[in-house]
Amino acid sequence: MGKKRQVCLMIDENEVQAMEKIRETTGLPVSRQIEMKLKGYKIVKE
C-alpha cells in the first residue's frame, strides 16, 4: 500500500478569501478546493 504525503504551501490571503466565498456558496471545504486544484502530475501557481 502506498504512503500518503502531506505538502504545505503558502496561499495568498486574497485566494483564501475567494475560496471561503466558494465554501459559503457551495459548502465545499477549502481543503477540498485545494485538493482538487492539486490533482494531477504537476503543481502550477495561478
pLDDT given for residue 37 in this prediction: 62
Would 4 be classed as within a structural domain? no
pLDDT given for residue 36 in this prediction: 60
pLDDT given for residue 46 in this prediction: 57
Domain around 19: 10-46
pLDDT given for residue 22 in this prediction: 85
Would 27 be classed as within a structural domain? yes
Would 5 be classed as within a structural domain? no
pLDDT given for residue 29 in this prediction: 84
Would 20 be classed as within a structural domain? yes
Would 35 be classed as within a structural domain? yes
pLDDT given for residue 6 in this prediction: 77
Would 16 be classed as within a structural domain? yes
User: 6 CB contacts (<8 Å, ≥6 apart)?
Assistant: none
Is-contact 35 43, C-beta < 8 A? no
Structurally, how many domains does the chain consist of?
A: 1
What would the pLDDT profile of 8-46 be if each residue is shown by its tens digit?
A: 778 888 888 988 898 898 888 887 777 666 565 565 655
Would 42 be classed as within a structural domain? yes
